[in-house]
């Protein structure tokens, strides 16, 4: 498969870990390891690195043993710093804004934050894993809604129109311009115009490249 990716799964629930493995392998992807806590995740990736066999993406639960608070996201942040070439997709039972902010505050490349309920939408979940593995972004609509809800208090986004905010939310979910056009029932050209206006109003230049799509949503994190 052209989009075949290698995955490490970090999830303390054996049942969910096996389920995620089955979802991905059934669609031609390779799950190279499955672990149950954050330290095991770090150790596994370190060992794979020593073998010259780093995974394309890590899928990790936010809360894992021993305290079931933030071990998963802490491990994810450590991995992003040590191996920025690896995509990191974290799963959470609820939208936890502090953890989402911490994960997304660094590089915008190859990062995702999804609610566990999204796993039930198999195609969307697998597409998100592949997108993050390839350096893209996958943010759950509920995460986007909360982050954008807070961001409306920020002057930096006050310049955007309601429709531009709507486009911005769909961009943050990882949708292409064509997908946004279908969702909003408008032309591709109309979406391109909205996206250009968003970049302009947020002061994101051509030099930011494709990452502007993510930076447009996350600019307020550093404001």
- The reported pLDDT for the residue numbered 105 is 65
Q: CA angle at residue 17 from 12 to 51, to 5 degrees?
A: 90
**Tens-digit pLDDT profile for residues 65-116:** 888 888 888 898 888 889 989 999 999 887 666 667 677 766 667 888 888 8
**Tens-digit pLDDT profile for residues 14-58:** 999 999 999 999 999 999 999 999 999 999 999 999 999 999 999
In sequence order, the 6+-apart residues with CB closer than 8 A to the CB of 191 are 167, 177, 178, 180, 181, 184
**Tens-digit pLDDT profile for residues 120-154:** 888 889 999 999 999 888 888 777 666 655 544 45
Predicted TM-score (pTM) of the model is 0.67
Separation of alpha carbons 119 and 139, rounded Å: 13
Q: CA angle at residue 196 from 155 to 144, to 5 degrees?
A: 55
| Tokens 């149950």 sit on residue | 36
């Amino acid at each position: 498969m052209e989009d075949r990716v290698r995955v490490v799964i970090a999830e303390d629930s054996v049942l969910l870990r096996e389920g995620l493995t089955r979802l991905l392998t059934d669609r031609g992807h390779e799950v190279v390891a499955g672990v149950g806590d954050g330290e095991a995740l770090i150790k596994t990736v370190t060992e794979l690195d020593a073998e010259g066999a780093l995974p394309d993406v890590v899928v990790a639960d936010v809360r894992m043993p021993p305290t079931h608070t933030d071990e998963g996201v802490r491990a994810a942040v450590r991995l992003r710093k040590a191996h920025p070439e690896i995509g990191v997709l974290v799963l959470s039972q609820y939208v936890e804004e502090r953890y989402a902010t911490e994960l997304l505050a660094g590089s915008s490349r190859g990062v995702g934050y999804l609610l566990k309920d999204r796993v039930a939408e198999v195609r969307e979940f697998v597409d998100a894993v592949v997108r993050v593995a390839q350096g893209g972004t996958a943010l759950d609509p509920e995460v986007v809604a909360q982050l954008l809800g807070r961001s409306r208090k920020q002057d930096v986004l006050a310049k955007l129109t309601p429709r531009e905010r709507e486009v911005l939310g769909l961009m943050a979910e990882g949708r292409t311009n064509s997908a946004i056009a279908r969702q909003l029932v408008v032309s591709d050209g109309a979406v391109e115009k909205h996206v250009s206006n968003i970049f302009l109003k947020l002061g994101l230049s051509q030099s930011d490249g494709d990452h502007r799509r993510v930076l447009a949503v996350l600019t307020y994190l550093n404001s």
